[in-house]
Amino acid sequence: MGLRLSAAAATLLAAVAAFAQAAFPFDRELLLDARPLPGSRRIPILEIGADGRAQIDLWCRSGAGQVVVSGATIKITLGPLREDACTPERARRDEEMAAALSEVTRWRTDGDRVVLVGPTELRFLLSAH
């Protein structure tokens, strides 16, 4: 009986993981749930394709990255980022955001938000576009 429950639990967990992966909002803009910094209208945006290629726009830097989603786990690898005219504050925020994205290990949805979880929790709104 215990073996049956374990097999059933494993099947259920696999189904939940498959659903979570299918539910990831690929090919949608994810906008950081934050206000722009003073003097700017820009906020960080992620756009992750189903093939794992990502466009990453931070406070003032941007570039490509690679994302692997498997169930509720996620791994984000940032490529080289181009720097636009960065103020010291925006450059510092970019370094913090890049580090936080690199440490993300899990994801979940919370209403109309995608939450990326690592040592820091990052909340992104799903764009209406």
Question: DSSP string covering the chain, please?
Answer: -HHHHHHHHHHHHHHHHHHHHHHS-TTSEEEESSPPPTT-----EEEE-TTSEEEEE-SSEEEEEEEEEETTEEEEEEEEEEE-S--HHHHHHHHHHHHHHHT--EEEEETTEEEEESSSEEEEEEP--
Cβ neighbours of residue 113 closer than 8 Å, sequence gap 6 or more: 33, 123, 124, 125, 126
Nearest to 120 by CA among 34, 29, 53: 34
Question: Quick one: pLDDT band at residue 47, thresholds 50, 70, 90?
Answer: very high
Question: Quick one: pLDDT band at residue 129, thresholds 50, 70, 90?
Answer: low
In percent, the amount of the chain with pLDDT more than 70 equals 82
pLDDT at 79 over 50: yes
- Domains of the chain: total: 1
Cβ neighbours of residue 109 closer than 8 Å, sequence gap 6 or more: 23, 115
* Poorest-pLDDT segment among 7-21, 72-86, 101-115: 7-21
Residue 19's domain comprises 2-126
Question: Which CATH number does the domain housing residue 92 bear?
Answer: 2.40.128.270
Question: Quick one: pLDDT band at residue 7, thresholds 50, 70, 90?
Answer: low
